[in-house]
Structure 1
């Protein structure tokens, strides 16, 4: 099985072969960095440049023209980082027979490597021997050795604090430099900022990982150029960056953030491929840089960043506030409770009725959830669903709620009642699982629910980010007789072009369009409904609360309403008693 240092070990063995067995110093030079240093066994084997190494090699060729034999060899390699590695070797070498002073040498060779133009190059070689017979020939120049190892140590330290892809600071490098700045300027006020690229996964999937990597490198380079005196930046992980800025008040910070935003994506290639890049940033203003840790500051900036609403098509930033720390604690508590919530049956099924816009008759419902803890606390979906997505809990939760829906529908069928269609919300994270659709169908079929009574509901942002998967899913849903609904349409994320690509059956318009008094918005509303009907889609409008709204929607030919006009979400048992009746 290959291991991390095997490539280095192979290069070290090849270098030993070229040096001892073949005396091929010309080919050996290809393995050496231009700034290589070499400390050999004898007094004339201290070289500080590649040229000096090659001169010594030429001299050896004149003195020793025999071929050495390697009797035993052992190599061990390790990659310190993506750009720095170390190999250690122990060899037993037999000298040419005509050499009179000895026939075998035990030698040890340590090599520091750096990756240069895609290949590992030796930047420092130290050869030594424990053999007493060479004591008179051996040399150790303490000053040269100290300077050489200091140089190598500096390289290794720098690599350990440098992000291998973008070549700016990594987390440790950023922390170290920020601490140094705080120490030098203890009375200066600073802003610690953490920002991420919104929907970076979508960029990777749409434009390719090479474009995603290029974007990260571009942002890193421009971010570093944007830093002034007393400022520093770094890439923390994935698409998350940090920056320490001098803070001169909110107005100045707003202008500075706008300038940095423009600088980050100013490169022409980004505009050429029409790549839209939006950022979420959290800002923390430390009050005491002497006592607070930089990682603690970054944590608070992250809390601020995470407070920003996802999937909004513009740059957003937020300042850290103490309530965010409480929210962070609450989230940790929710995640702790989540591990046993299904076993305790704490997730309760609710259904909000949907009504025909003209007759006001109830024609179906949307399945929703309330998390009711044993202590009486009720947690709403907006408090835990995104957390479940972030921590890979959503898949099990969604399938559990689907099973609750199917269980009640099966019960109503056995009681001889007429079913009404139910929409079930599914997360974008679910469809990334290869077995999801099979698991979905398995649950539905186990309870013998006719497929036409279940509508598979996804938010419009999922249709954009998971476009190819959604198109495949839509085909499979329709082949099996399910309906597909696009939820929250009009939240500013999706393009109208999406509707021509994905064959949805139902378009759910977000209540924000209904609440707007803007004339242009109303015109858009009307045209969206008209367009959906032209594509054989039914239109559901959310947030319908008054008769005036219902009448307005009737004039626009909206098909179905959902909102407080018909009723709030209610327990599934109450929904069944009120709206699921016996067959006529």
Structure 2
């Protein structure tokens, strides 16, 4: 074998890519075997004469970075290059060689892709760590938490080269989620105001994915969601095509999420966005704590009105910046001390809250609770006739409130005035009105409880209360197993008022027994009617207040009502709440046992709504344990809630005769989980809201 043949063989078998091209015409003259195989050129294919930039780079014209003008015959010119066709990095050595008297370019390329990849990976890790440190420094260095989080979102948005970065927080109580922080790049429209109080159902899929996988990347919106789905519509309306998101988690519950829209960089690494959620969660908690402390400093915890500190600050502000005119209303709740002494502070607190709500209906802001029973409303820059109209409206609304009795002092003045003097005048006018109240009410006070009791009895007699039924469904069969009777009050316009608006007031006045016994009698009438119509009877649950349960001879009264309508006691299920555990063990045990002996079934209602007292289950046998809606609400997205529910159900299966009822079930997902946990009965909007007796009969009894 000749020398030239040996050299050609060696070059051909080298791992480096080697080629020769015409310097002037860019035409390929030679490619070694490695080069041909790398660019998928068949051994028999004639590449000679083809343009190097077309074959090696896929271009239609010479490379902008071509080194033809930089190379010579004396030494190699060395540089680094990335080849987009091969997706690899090379160290390239170029030199001019003479072939048959013509200048040609010799290029030897050595693959350094692995080395370059490791280098770039190291650079990226350093960059990512520096970004995390920068974010942490931003949060810890700025006392303004809002500004700090905004800056952090800017950094995150830059890292992923997105169009918008944001934080959403979830309000499970109201079943909504809201955009609370946002950063937008240039020419991107802010969306934060449009993304408030959105239904939590829009992110059911996200919550499921957060729980299952944690952070995630949606590369193409159209591929992930149906175009008619609410999630697609709300995202596409903002021009979003892709996004990344990571959950914010506190105590095992997802409380929100951090996201970036249309990321174009580092999308294969979501560790940064995941890591930052811990820092963000800490700062959001810190801001909430500061807001709470600030609110405690300036707002009254009972009424949510401004407190005396807030009042003093506003008065000082008006002294320094006097309004053109101002109206002042000074209010005092009449007889609050006597009410507290006679009916307890709980009832007094109810009256104070009702007074605050009354003031909010008339005055938008600058309303304060300045003392135990005193309120002040400041009305700056208001014309005299408008101010007088507001006071008249307050008095008009007051006439409709039979429980609230207040004295009012109101003054108005134009121009700069001594504000403290004006407030004192309003206070004096209020005091004069209060004297009239005391003179006219000295004799009436001791009869107050008797009058409110008589009023309630009249309202019941005049059909101002009604009973709705909500079905209870057996989980395993899907058949109706019973119902709960739920009371509603009817206002003058025929609207139904829910129990949370009146029960606590009646309990505070110790007159709730009338409502409880009305519901029991209504249920007996319903069962008696069904029996006369040959309809099947089902057990109906009624709620008894702790106040009613403690009443002397209450069991005899319950039995007497049932027996009057000849209703077997086993068709009446009596629900008592966890609050009965505050009664003495001996009294509680005696009452429950007597009810059971009389044939009534007993349910422990609202289990889990407060700090559940498990010891009550060791002392008393309950036929049913009703798991409170507040726990059921979290079953989809809170692992702790699922664990608690599953173990409560399992625990009841080991307690003889105790069945479980899940309250407030609203979705199929909740039902499926409870069915899987083998909960005995289901109650909630998933099957039916509370409905009239007639609707119930048509739907379930025919």
TM-score bracket, normalised by the shorter chain, equals 0.3 to 0.5
Larger radius of gyration: 2
How high is the TM-score relative to the length of structure 1?
A: 0.46
Which of structures 1 and 2 has the larger relative contact order (alpha carbons within 8 angstroms, sep 6+)?
1
TM-score, normalised to structure 2, is 0.39
